[in-house]
Amino acid sequence: LHTPMYFFISNLAILDLVGVSSVLPKMLENLILGRNTISFEGCVAQLYTFTFSVSTELILLTVMSYDRYLAIRQPLHYVTMMSKRTCISLMAGVWAISTINSLINTLLVAQLDFCGPNLVQNFLCEIPSVLALSCSSTYVNEITVYMADIILGMGNFLLVILSYCLIITTILKIQGSARKWKAFSTCSSHLAIVGFFYSTIIYTYIQPTSTPLEKKNKTVNIMYTLVIPTLNPLTYSLRNKVVKAAFWKI
């Protein structure tokens, strides 16, 4: 398990725990106690943690697609190119960029004035829902969010698409259908997660600001905040023959 792929998967697992833990406990508390309240400080903390987890996963999925590209395109040089030092450096960069992005957006939100109404049209505090409640100008916040969407969202999405275009081109050059399928199976799990994650993110965030929050599909929010993080371990682990055998043995 001490390979680059599983190193990145372990980081993804930690990230999923952080993201779910920022939303699920408060959500269950409100459901059990029959109330729908959260303090302003708690809302800001949830906003920061949730923004951090989403932005980190966007970049991490791109790094993982690059890892799969090197494994398929240059298998003989893969071990030296994706050394332990390289993997740690990549992850340090991922966590640092996400921390800066979420910190800037959270500080800008915390400086806004909120004078009512105080009803968040969602089951969690995220930037679009909180900005809609502010009675002060949110122009700077919206510009910052759009820049993050373009750089972190669309930028990483295009890099993932580029990686898979190169992967598919390489697989088509491989002789024999069995070898082609074996090469593709190494990245099929990652491709499935990318498809689920980006489809829900794009649907939720790439919408006009004039769209009423009441009309936004909360089911989609549940998908990428709770369902996808729960499916990630199954999608990755159960496709591994060794892990699958150990699972059935237990």
Q: What is the CATH number of the domain that holds 220?
A: 1.20.1070.10
At residue 222, the pLDDT reads 77
Q: Give a yes or no: residue 187 inside a domain.
A: yes
pLDDT 10s digit of each residue in the chain, 250 long?
788 888 998 898 899 889 889 888 888 888 898 888 889 999 999 999 989 998 999 999 999 999 989 988 888 888 889 999 999 999 999 999 999 999 999 999 999 998 878 888 788 888 888 988 888 888 999 999 989 988 988 899 999 999 999 988 888 888 878 878 877 777 877 888 888 788 777 666 555 544 555 555 566 677 777 777 877 777 777 666 777 787 788 8
Q: Give a yes or no: residue 248 inside a domain.
A: no
Domain count, the chain: 1
Q: Give a yes or no: residue 123 inside a domain.
A: yes
Q: Give a yes or no: residue 246 inside a domain.
A: no
Q: Give a yes or no: residue 29 inside a domain.
A: yes
Q: Give a yes or no: residue 42 inside a domain.
A: yes
Which residues form the domain of 12? 4-241
At residue 203, the pLDDT reads 67
Q: Give a yes or no: residue 207 inside a domain.
A: yes
Q: Give a yes or no: residue 249 inside a domain.
A: no
Query: What is the DSSP code (8-state) at residue 153?
Result: I
